[in-house]
A and B are shown apart, each in its own frame.
Chain A
Amino acid sequence: MDSHWTGSDWTKSSPKLTPLAVYVSCRTFLLISYCFLVFIRCLISKDAMDGQRRHRILMVSDFFYPNFGGVENHIYYLSQCLLKLGHKVVVMTHAYGNRSGVRYMTGGLKVYYIPWRPFLMQNTLPTFYGTLPILRTILIRERISLVHGHQAFSTLCHEALMHARTMGYKVVFTDHSLYGFADVGSIHMNKVLQFTLADVNQAICVSHTSKENTVLRSGLPPEKVFVIPNAVDTAMFKPAQTRLSCDEIVIVVISRLVYRKGADLLVEVIPEVCRFYPNVRFIIGGDGPKRVRIEEMREKNSLQDRVEMLGAVPHAQVRSVLISGHIFLNSSLTEAFCIAILEAASCGLLTVSTRVGGVPEVLPDDMIVLAEPRPSDMVKAIKKAIHILPKIDPQVMHLRMKSLYSWHDVARRTEVVYDRALRCPTEDLLERLSRYLTCGAWAGKIFCLVMIINFLLWKLLQLWQPSKDIEEVPDIALLHDQRETTPWDSVED
């Protein structure tokens, strides 16, 4: 081996092969071969990464743990399943009270609680350019390749997507709610959405009705919008071990008691049902401004022993409330995709719901009874549900739910969207500005101005705080064991 390396130079400089020369030559050879091998390994691993398509995703939203809700749930479970698939996921949200800074959650999910306070309904104050420096730092530190924003109502999401596009990152947006077109708030929200989605790479909606709504509101071509529904953690929502007896039928309602969730419909429906069926009992969990009306209804009709009000139910106890009932009643007036129905079905309850928004798409027809949002129709639907209740087997329903919905399936489908987004061509500022001009006669020009200023601020920031000064975070590979995703509420700080 030495003879290959000890070429003419060596023999010229040292006619005799001293031990020192041998030692030095061996070391040099080993060093060079090591470098060569590292280089080859990098190439291979890059190919492997391309083949494996390992993404580095930043999830941005105003809504995350310690808040509980549909969007928060979605981001958490999706991130956990993407981590299991081998991608890197980082979440960015605003500070909740004292909870500010970097936290780690199950599976190595890193969460940045940036020190912005929420000012209105959990949204941060929209400062347009205030989040640019911190977002840039996070994107460079974590070596992010793709930014995924959630929920049209979140100002942090819109700002982050705008900055990410300016800095050249690929962007995906998920819309979780339905909005109208006619009132002043909706008109403004839709204009903001049009601005954000003018330049997004791909969009995801949680149901087909939501896709139609988003396409109309934002003017996106329908081919850019993917429909990937939410799912439910079936391991957490298991039915009761022993089946409940059907002598007394218990109807469970768990929702925020607000106008949008149809609390007024409950006030009309419950006395009627209690009158027709003496063996029916109601359990109402949740709190809100309409709670007073429901308590009044309870007093006026003397239903204290038949209607039980539990108040706000913590997320960890939702399952125990659900398994104490036979039927789940959902009376919301608008719903893009109702996760509460999935949780109830996973616990083996038969669902009665209003036919609004995306609810008809959520469950097969034999697991749900739909009604128009009118008290008379809902009473008829409850009657039909009570009639078909004996044929329902909770364990069978639970097993069916396991096959119909799974967060791993959602993560895989989302991965396809990410691959699509990353394959989109990179565009420079001028090409992108032409898309903003189509947003409207006046609005288009204002949007272009906003983006140009954003671009200039970014360039300024690059001069002031060069990216090579920002330290990159090394990847920490946690040992994943094969147990199921840890439920959210058992996470410890």
Chain B
Amino acid sequence: MEAKVEGNPLITQSKWRKVAYGGMQPGYDDNYTDESFLEDMVMNANVVKRDIVKVMRDSVSISQYICVVALVVCVWTYTLGATIDETSLLLLDAGLLGSGFLVLLLTARRLSINLLSHYLLKISFFISGLYVLAPIYHTLTRSISSDSIWALTVSLLMVHLFLHDYSGSTIRPPGALKNPTLTSNISLNASIVASVLIASRLPSRLHVFAIMLFSLQVFLFAPLVMYCIKKYSFGLHLCFSSLLMTVTLVLVFTLHRPLFALLLGLLVFVTVVCPFWLIRLQEYKFEINGPWDEAKLCFDITE
């Protein structure tokens, strides 16, 4: 609805300029929309075009971690049902610790005795501290009913899975640049509390120590080990993940049929359905940038 003055053809109308000074531009209304309207708008400048195969390969990290948590839950169930006794648990812990160390040593870029002794010292502090605190955990939830414990554990594990940092590791590997985020810390704390709750239901202090050591080993160090394997070789990571998934599925199958169905469904959903869904939703992405954006500082603000 612009009203261009259809004036004398001898008088040429001055060109419209994108300026605010000088009052109303002669011959143009204030609501005149030029052809250059929105010409500086940039759409979807930072959007990454995703490839379905790559997304499926990346989703393996998530399904692998779900299997790890499922394995931990299996071990808990077996321990609570007295299928595994404390000596075999302690052997399992030692085996896991040894293999974890082996993987870290093999995949580390520089083999340094200093780093190894540093880790060993830390681990020994950790184990002794846990042994000293085991009696406290043993009697922690004596007054709470079992139903509340199971419900709380399940909710905490849900929180743990939702907020977990699947791309990196909360325990910082040496040389990592990014600090762990708030959500990854929350997820780690949730898993630790879940372990404590389960451990407090066990009959003897040695049980408590063994199961605590097992749970904390897995929740604290398994992401670190997975991260080191992934960084070393992606093929090895894929092989290891598929092996882990098969083992988990077999174990859960022998334990509980409905849970097996649930786990299988979840793994299929994460590996197959979600990548397709993500690719389909990407076409609706509409990112707008233009001269109205707040300028980003090109330097870091050091307080």
On whether A226 and B294 interact (CB within 8 A), knowing A207-B20, A268-B299, A375-B299, the answer reads: no
Q: Does B287 contact A (CB under 8 A)?
A: yes
4 smallest CB-CB distances across A and B, nearest first, come from A229-B20, A373-B295, A334-B294, A213-B292
Residue of B nearest to A362 (CB): B20
Asked if A216 and B31 sit within 8 Å, CB to CB, the answer is no
Residue of A nearest to B294 (CB): A334
Which of A354, A364, A416 makes the CB contact (< 8 A) with B30?
A: A416
Asked if A181 and B21 sit within 8 Å, CB to CB, the answer is no
| Stretch in B33-41, B49-57, B237-245 with 4+ CB within 8 Å of A | B33-41
Docked CA distance A57–B83 (Å): 83
> Which residue, A213, A215, A374, has most C-beta atoms of chain B within 10 A?
A213
Asked if A212 and B292 sit within 8 Å, CB to CB, the answer is yes
Which of B31, B38, B290, B299 makes the CB contact (< 8 A) with A223?
A: B31
Write out, one digit per residue, whether chain B residues 179-213 have a CB within 8 A of any chain A CB (1) or not (0): 00000000000000000000000000000000000
How close is B292's CB to chain A, nearest CB, in angstroms?
Answer: 4
Which of A178, A404, A406 makes the CB contact (< 8 A) with B292?
A: A178
How close is B297's CB to chain A, nearest CB, in angstroms?
Answer: 6
Asked if A224 and B295 sit within 8 Å, CB to CB, the answer is no
Total A-B contacts with CB atoms under 8 angstroms apart: 96
Which residues in A have some Cβ–Cβ distance to B below 8 Å? 178, 180-182, 206-210, 212-213, 215-216, 222-229, 260, 264-265, 268, 293, 333-334, 336-337, 354, 356-358, 361-364, 373-375, 403-406, 409, 413, 416-417
How close is A409's CB to chain B, nearest CB, in angstroms?
Answer: 5
14 interchain pairs, CB-CB under 8 A: A181-B287, A212-B40, A212-B291, A213-B290, A227-B30, A333-B294, A334-B292, A334-B294, A361-B18, A361-B21, A363-B21, A409-B24, A413-B30, A416-B30
Asked if A264 and B18 sit within 8 Å, CB to CB, the answer is no
Cβ of A209: which chain B residues have Cβ within 8 Å of it? Answer: 290-292
Asked if B295 and A334 sit within 8 Å, CB to CB, the answer is yes
Q: Does B5 contact A (CB under 8 A)?
A: no
How close is A326's CB to chain B, nearest CB, in angstroms?
Answer: 22
How close is A375's CB to chain B, nearest CB, in angstroms?
Answer: 7
Write out, one digit per residue, whether chain B residues 21-33 have a CB within 8 A of any chain A CB (1) or not (0): 1111000011101
Which of A180, A264, A364 makes the CB contact (< 8 A) with B293?
A: A180
Cβ of B24: which chain A residues have Cβ within 8 Å of it? Answer: 409, 413
Which of B31, B41, B297, B299 makes the CB contact (< 8 A) with A224?
A: B31
Write out, one digit per residue, whether chain B residues 276-303 have a CB within 8 A of any chain A CB (1) or not (0): 0000000000011011111101110101
Q: Does B132 contact A (CB under 8 A)?
A: no
Docked CA distance A226–B33 (Å): 9
Which of A225, A356, A362 makes the CB contact (< 8 A) with B21?
A: A362
Asked if B38 and A227 sit within 8 Å, CB to CB, the answer is no
Asked if B31 and A225 sit within 8 Å, CB to CB, the answer is yes
On whether A223 and B2 interact (CB within 8 A), knowing A212-B41, A212-B290, A373-B295, the answer reads: yes
Docked CA distance A362–B22 (Å): 10
Which residues, 29 to 87 on B, are CB-close (under 8 Å) to A? 29-31, 33, 37-38, 40-41
How close is B45's CB to chain A, nearest CB, in angstroms?
Answer: 12
Q: Does B19 contact A (CB under 8 A)?
A: yes
